[in-house]
Each structure stands twice: as C-alpha cells, then as structure tokens.
Chains A and B, each alone.
Chain A
Amino acid sequence: PKLPATRNAAFMVMDKPTSYKDATSYNNFYEFGTEKTDPVGAAGSLRTRPWTVAIEGEVRKPMTLDIDSLLKLAPLEERIYRLRCVEGWSMVIPWIGYSFSEIIKRVEPTGNAKYVEFTTLADRKQMPGLRSPVLEWPYVEGLRLDEASHPLTLLTLGMYGEVLPNQNGAPVRIVVPWKYGFKSAKSIVKIRFVKDQPKTAWNISAPQEYGFYSNVNPEVDHPRWSQASERRIGEDGFLKPKRKTLMFNGYSEVASLYTGMDLKKFY
C-alpha cells in the first residue's frame, strides 16, 4: 500500500536509487533464512498487523505504541540514504519515516539512559529462520543515546513510496545510514533505554568481526575482507569496478559523535 510522505531535501543523497526489485529481493534478514534471496520468499508469513512496539527502560514515560499511532506520531518524510552492508555491497534507498529523536522526545529518557536497545520480533511460527542457531534470538541491536538522537537516525515505516515490505523489516525498523546495515534492526517489537551497552546479536556471535559501533569505515578492515571499497548493487560489477567506500558512508556530519575515540579500537 502507498504511504504518502514529504521529501526532506536536507536528507537526500544524489546517488541513483537502487531498483525496487533489487532492494526487495536481496536482503539479509536471518529470521527468514541466511541466503540473501531467502527473505523475499519466506517473509510472507510475517503478520504486520496488529503490531505494537513497547518503549521502556530508563524513561519517564514508557509507552506501548501500535503501528497506527507510530504512523501518526510525527510527519512522515521521504529521505534517500546510502546503505552499506558489512559484506561489501551497497544500495541507495528512499526510506519513509521520521527522526528517531521524535520518539526520544516523547518518552523522556532519564539521566541513566546511555544506550538504546532495539529488539526484533522472534516468533518461530512466523519466522522459519529462527530454527537455525546461526544467531542468538531475538535479534538485538543498539546505539549510544547520542547516536540514536542524531537527526539522521530514522524510525522507518516505508520505502519507495509504500509501507515497508516484510523482507525489509516491516512494519517498523530503524535506519542508521552511517553504520553497516546490520546495525539497523528490523521488525522492531521493543525499544529499551538502558544504562549499559547492549549485547548485540552479531557482536555476541563473532566479537572479533563485528563491534558495537560498526561505523562504515574504509580504514578498518573486516578480518576477512577489506572495507575500502564496495559494489553498488545494480551498477558496479561487470564493467565498472567497485567504488571507494566513504568514511561514515559519506555522512561526515556524524564525525563529531566520535571525537577523541580510536575508531580502530571501537570498530
């Protein structure tokens, strides 16, 4: 279904958007299988209504919002973001949503809140991939509070002018464009504001490969491949070589969040 939104000119990269077909048929969503071609076939079993998201933890006003209230919580914007996967490929996607800071404002974090933890649905009946022990379920991701508050961090409800397709994390996900894609949790059912750094799914599974921060950084290699370049889906490949990966995926405005931090150590 269509999802009307107003373009936000402040958040538009000029790169050519990836085709809808590629963006919806090449997905990492392990709850629906480990192959990138699995989710498009298997995610049909996900029921996205009714859906509620519990927002809790170190907040003055915890709340549980259903999907309709989330859609009405703030004006919907269309933003075109680059998406860089840790595997070395990238896309350009027109998302629909609003800054996650809109949520933060409403729940009023206490002084104890230092991190935000996002939990994905884990229902064996709807998600065949949960039978495989590749990750600890449910999928948990997290951000530092100041990262979560950054205007770029998008609470996402749609893409390409429509509500999110199931395989892309329907009905609500987060999008953090300066971090590798796996940091952007899909099909979120719980958002917790917490004091300690959350234990995140990929970090638990392979801590030497996936750090908590996981900022896009061409200078910090993944142990098994270089992160210096990437292949833009639908563009680079047979005729064009891979393109150079940009620091923070090109979102240099987030650099100030990491002043004084050794990004090789906090990868």
Chain B
Amino acid sequence: MITPRQISLAKAALFAASLLPFARLVLFAFTDRLGANPIEFITRNTGDWTLYFLCLTLSITPLRKLTGQHWLIRLRRMLGLFAFFYAALHFTTFLWFDHFFDVDEMLKDVVKRPFITVGFSAFVLLVPLAVTSTNGMVKRLGGKRWQLLHRLVYLIAALGILHFWWMKAGKNDFAQPILFGSIVAVLLLMRLWWNVLQPRLQRRRMQPAPVCGGLREQRLERK
C-alpha cells in the first residue's frame, strides 16, 4: 500500500499545487495582467478558490468510501486550511480595498447586505475550524467534540453557496452558483445516505419481522 514517504510526497505536491492560484495572482499583479479592475479580479478569484477548496475538502470522505483509499484523509486538513487561506485573502481584499480598513463602514455593509452577511458568517465560522485543526487541538477537545465542531463545514459550504448565489442574483446569472451548489449538494447528500439513511435501512433489515402473536406477548412481558 501507500508508504509514509509517499504520503509525505503527496502532501508536498498538494501544498505546492494549492499555492499555484495565489502565485498566479501575485504574478499577474506584477505583470499588469489583472485586467481593468484588479480588485474585482482578486476578489472574485479568491472567492472562487475558496469554494473550490471547500468542495475538495468535502470530497475526501466520499472519495475514501468509493475508492477505499483511506490514506486520502491525510490530505484533508491541508485542503481545509487552504479553503481558509483563500477565504482570508477574499475577506482581506474586501476589508482593505473596498473599505480601506474602515471597520465601522465594513460592519455596516455586513449588517445591511444579506449576501455580505452570509459570506462574512461563513468566514467567521471557518476561523474556529482553522484554529482547532492541529493534532494538539484534536486531543485537547477530544475526538467526539472535535468532530462535532468540524461538522460546521457543512453549514459553511451552504453559506458560501448562498453568498455566491445572492451575489449573482441581480445579474440573473446562475450558471456558476448552480454548478457549485450541485457539487456541494451531491457531496452532502452522499453523507446523508451513508450516515443516516443507509444505516437506518440496514437496521430495519437486520431486525426480524415481528410475528403478530409474538409481538403481543413481548409487550405483555415488558409490563
């Protein structure tokens, strides 16, 4: 199977690949290739990459289940942290270039405009996940609690899609939000099937069908 060395290599390759979109932005910035409205370009690009990385993070578990390649889980934290990295760039662009660090003005925007409210909430919710991503934090929280906390990513992904959807709504341009939304929906529905529906069906199958008379006896016995 996969050796620890191969996993390290895979991680290194993934790390380098995940930095490429950022490197491209930097390169474009220094070679005047960000177009007529560089801030808009950066805002959109970092927003897109946040969604890509959220999707990639959410696809690890389904991929593991479908392929049996369980070592993939070792890549998930890095993907999640890159989602946070691009979200942080996205947010910083908004705070810096849209508001020039006028936090009051920014907060007004957050409160007044639903699509920003939603995007901002998603970003804020990502922070505790990033902070608790270390092995030490997993230990400190305990696996159960850590897992519960990190299920927030489902909500974050949904908020991210809604943010994108509302951003595009006025322009009636839903092709991309629908695409992203479908991908996230499929990734979440697979979990719903594996974690909730399938076990329930199996339990039902495992239980022997109760015989009419027997059932009554059982009830009587319990009393």
Contact = CB atoms under 8 A, between A and B. Distances in A.
A134 B173 contact: yes
A209 B171 CA distance: 10
B37 A26 contact: yes
Nearest to A91: B36
B217 interface: no
Interface in A205-242: 205-206, 209-210, 221-226, 231, 233-234, 237-238, 241-242
Q: Is the interface of A mostly helix, strand, loop or mixed?
A: loop
B208 to A, nearest CB: 55
A251 interface: no
Interface residues of B, number: 22
A225 B117 CA distance: 12
Interface string B169-186: 111110100000000000
A218 to B, nearest CB: 14
Interface in B13-39: 35-39
A36 B37 CA distance: 10
A138 to B, nearest CB: 16
Given A224-B166, A224-B167, A241-B100, A26 B36 contact: yes
A149 B39 CA distance: 37
A82 to B, nearest CB: 16
Nearest to A26: B36
Contact of B37 (A34, A89, A133): A89
B36 A22 contact: yes
Nearest to A233: B36
Contacts of B173: 34, 132, 134
B53 interface: no
A36 B40 CA distance: 11
A25 interface: yes
B71 interface: no
Contacts of A37: 35
Interface string A1-33: 000000000000000000001100110000000
Contact of B97 (A36, A206, A224, A238): A238
B113 A224 contact: yes
Contacts of A222: 170
Interface string B41-79: 000000000000000000000000000000000000000
6 contacts: A21-B36, A25-B36, A34-B171, A36-B36, A206-B170, A234-B36
Interface of A: 21-22, 25-26, 34, 36-37, 89, 132-135, 205-206, 209-210, 221-226, 231, 233-234, 237-238, 241-242
